[in-house]
Structure 1
Amino acid sequence: MNSLDAIEQDTFISAATPLLNLITHITGLKTSFITTIDWQAQQQTVVIAQNTGDLHIASGSQLAWTDSMCQLMLSEQLTATTEIQLRFPDSGGAQLGMQSFVVLPIKIADQMIGTLCGASDDKVELNNHQIESLGYIADALALQLKLTIDARNAEAKMDSLRDQIENLATLANTDPLTELLNRRAFQQRYEFAIKLSKRTKQPLSVMMIDIDDFKQFNDEFGHETGDAIIKMVGDGLKYIARSTDIPCRVGGDEFILVALNTDSNGLMLLAKRLNDYVKLHSKQLQRPCSLSIGIACSSHGAPEELIRFADEALYMSKASGRDAISVYQADDA
């Protein structure tokens, strides 16, 4: 068993402290303590210790299992002894001045996960009734440790479930190729942006983007190159987008960006940056590509109509020969 983390250890200590006091009351041993054992690391850790005399065991102390008094006692099939100095003269317990020692395993499902121990620097003889009582305390501690471990495992499962739910939510709202918002998630954000624009009376602008001659790229160089172009444009949108902007892959080779508190001039600057980004990064492909972009601002009409306006401006860019940025003109509606 690995050591308990800080929160779990505090919980366990709160439950275990009265039981250690009970050990002192039942046996007269001056020191009582509880350990956990990490079998993989072969290390024993004192989770909590109670010291009422000169003999001192420190809570949190660690030692190799092979050097442990518990290991020495259990290997000799001893539960209690008053002859530490005679039986184990070279042990750490003897060096601390121990005369008496008692150890009972703490088990969960027949696996020893720790020990319940008592020690004293004088000879304290324990009768069978006292040792049996200590066994009941060890069982109670095993139950408490199991509850603590079960609570930790339950929390870990809840964390895992929350992560899965978050991942599913991300998958449901994200385009897998570009990691931009998909159309459904975009629509929710866009509706909120419209309400916010109306409430704050701030401009709202929309940019529609289409990759020029995308079908020709796909037919000539294959879908792998086509996917690379789409991802590159998506990366470009993420590069130029500000924290309040809403970039999205609408589908196929079409993209959209909504900008709060931005007029058509501000969005024009972002569009030029995006176009420059794509031209620069597409040089590494078999043939550079370009974008046709349409822009519309809420000053042109109702915010709910901006996507349609921007789409009309995009058509203007394509009609002018592609690789162009056009701003919707209300007179043309």
Structure 2
Amino acid sequence: MKTPATPPNEAERLLSLRQSGLLEFDNRQPYDRLTRLAKRLFNVSVAMVNLIDERTQIAKSVDGAVPAVLPRSVSFCGHTILQPEPLVVNDARDDSRFVDNPLVAHENGVRFYAGIPLRLPDGAVVGSFCVVDQTPRDFSAQDLAALSDLAALAEDEFAASCAATTDELTGLINRRGFNQFAAFALSGARRRAEPLTLAWMDLDRFKQINDRFGHSEGDEALKAMANLLRSAFRETDLLVRYGGDEFAVLFADTDEQGAWIAMQYLTEQVAKFNQTGSHPWTLTFSWGICEFDHHHGDLEQWLKEADRKMFSMKQKNSAAR
């Protein structure tokens, strides 16, 4: 089996994928429409829109009985992202790259594959639109053109997601918006010699809420946290859902001591919320704060330090339980 090679621009490709928010943004509906159409149009067993991260192939949408996550090392799409043109494999058992691939080798394994590389607006190839079947087949130029048209529609959805700066579920600024606004805020704070402090938050035991009460209740917990952030902080503070159960607040013209006082107030508001008992779960969170060093700091290091402090609190909270 030939393992997919690593693109020469892998670091830049992965950075674009992460900054796009596509790994966290869970709106599958437009992609589901495309995969349903592809499966019916080409009469195949599986149609997928995939993203390829460092080690895995992640289905943004899948119509068919295949896992949503696969190791990148065995994925056909890992090969597709290496070339600008489509990858068509008429019979995987006659192709030296795939004949002994575990996805091919079993009785009902992959025989036919056709994939189109998918790009972000900045040109980074982050995944593929593919159709798969359990029988060998030809794929005409007309078929390839139709699949390419569907892939272009998927790329349009990528572009719309990348352009958005608001988290659809909570209405807070999303990861992409934070990266844009944080750079602007840093520039302004430097120019005015004002302090700027970041608070990084992570909900405790959020997975347990999803596992025990279902994802709809998990969504309610995320929205409740967003509303508490809005009620606790100033309109001039940047409120962010960075991804998953991670939140952040960018405190304008505020030093670390002022941010600490503000976070204590948020802690009190969360405790009052839990006392209402209107949900089967309670909100708890860990946090860390870090004031930006205008002389030696940079955005990436700033985020890492706030995250490190948050994780330290999370470990203490876990040990105390």
TM-score (norm 2): 0.46
Q: Which has the higher contact order (CA 8 A, sep 6+)?
A: 2
TM-score (norm 1): 0.44
